[in-house]
A = this chain, B = another copy of it.
Amino acid sequence: MTTGVWLIGARGSVAVTCMVGATALRAGLAEPLGCVTELPELASAAVPGLAELAFGGHDISDLPLEKKVEDLVAAGVLPARPAAAVADKLAALERELRPAPVAATQLEVARLVAQDIDDFRRRRGLERVVVVNVSSTEPVPAADPAFENLATLEEALAERTVLPPSSLYAYAAFLAGCSYVDFTPSTGARLPALRELAGRAGLPYAGHDGKTGETLVKSVLAPMFAMRNLRVRTWSGTNLLGGGDGANLADPAANAAKAGSKQRVLAETLGYQPQGSSHIEYVDDIGDFKTAWDLITFSGFLGTRMKMEFSWHGCDSALAAPLVLDLARLTAAAQAAGRSGPLTELAFFFKDPIGDVPHDLAGQWAALVAFVRGLDEPA
């Protein structure tokens, strides 16, 4: 193995589905469904194979992997057969997980995090490690001058709690010489100070907020209305979800962050913001099988009013996990190719992509294909 995938939130549903799934795929127990980098259009010698990936990570929870796998099987997220087949591999995975470090200052925490990752890299003899944030969504932090440049930030880190956890881990990742992927709507690397650090260190990063369900559908339907010159009047969505992130998103602050990123695709692809909002409701019983319902009202020729509805019944972890694998592989390839700073070509994977990029899925796909083709070319 050449490439490490270090998961922040490593005992959560997405991370565990990702690790167990990669193990099962490697053993030939299932087709690589959901894995975009396995499509023929993206085949590339520059992208590390599934068999090249080694996993580790941090979590504040200490729930044993074995117990989490059991829960995911009971909930129908992990199919029983592949889960059973890789049961003997769980102990090895478990050995690479670390508790979230605790220390007096955020600077010290960051150094301990970086140390854990560096140990992992050496121990496993990896060429490079990609750190991926798949932990719960955080509230948007209040603005802070320390966010604005690296020197101020580093001073502050030695003195007070300045960064939200997702950003602290991004800082630690760069400190350890790792690229970083933000799969959540949290702040992560989205601060000028961290951008400065990544640039200096020559490290790439990607984000934000994996596009797994309702927004994925929006990113093809909104362009359809635009290409047909149909005026979208209302686009209103309801997301019912349970599970860990569901509970978290019921918190109005986190919800606001998420719901905003879910509507952005509309303004970007339509050129105007239709009425309506995206509403998230936590329903414990629904667990990982999210149901989203969207109502779209639109006007056509001479103003005639029409509408469309869709319901999406998706398993969030099963949709997210293969994308985490894709992102780790593509970001590692970018790092190997010497790329640094934001990887805007990976917009295909995100609800709220970095940079001034296309928001229609087809445009994002074209950018992704070109990016992978570029990796194959001699520098």
Interface residues in chain A, defined as those with a beta carbon under 8 Å from any beta carbon in chain B: 17, 21, 24, 30-36, 38-39, 76-80, 82, 216-217, 219-221, 223-224, 227-231, 233-234, 236, 238, 240, 275-277, 279, 281, 283-286, 289, 291, 293, 295, 297, 299-304, 306-315, 318-319, 321-322, 348, 360-363, 365
Contact = CB atoms under 8 A, between A and B. Distances in A.
Nearest to A18: B301
Given A293-B295, A301-B318, A306-B315, 16 more contacts: A31-B303, A33-B299, A33-B303, A36-B227, A36-B228, A36-B229, A78-B304, A220-B220, A227-B348, A234-B286, A238-B238, A300-B318, A300-B319, A306-B318, A310-B311, A362-B363
B308 A313 contact: yes
Nearest to A315: B304
B33 A230 contact: yes
B217 A302 contact: no
A206 B77 CA distance: 42
Majority secondary structure of chain A interface residues (helix, strand, loop or mixed): mixed
A295 B76 CA distance: 20
A77 B31 CA distance: 24
Contact of A236 (B76, B221, B283): B283
A236 B228 contact: no
A35 B308 contact: no
A293 B82 contact: no
14 contacts: A17-B302, A24-B302, A33-B230, A33-B299, A34-B228, A39-B227, A76-B304, A79-B303, A217-B224, A219-B224, A286-B297, A291-B309, A306-B315, A362-B362
A240 B295 contact: yes
Contact of A216 (B35, B224, B240, B321): B224
Contacts of A311: 308-311
Q: Which 3 A-B pairs have the closest CB atoms?
A: A362-B362, A304-B318, A34-B301
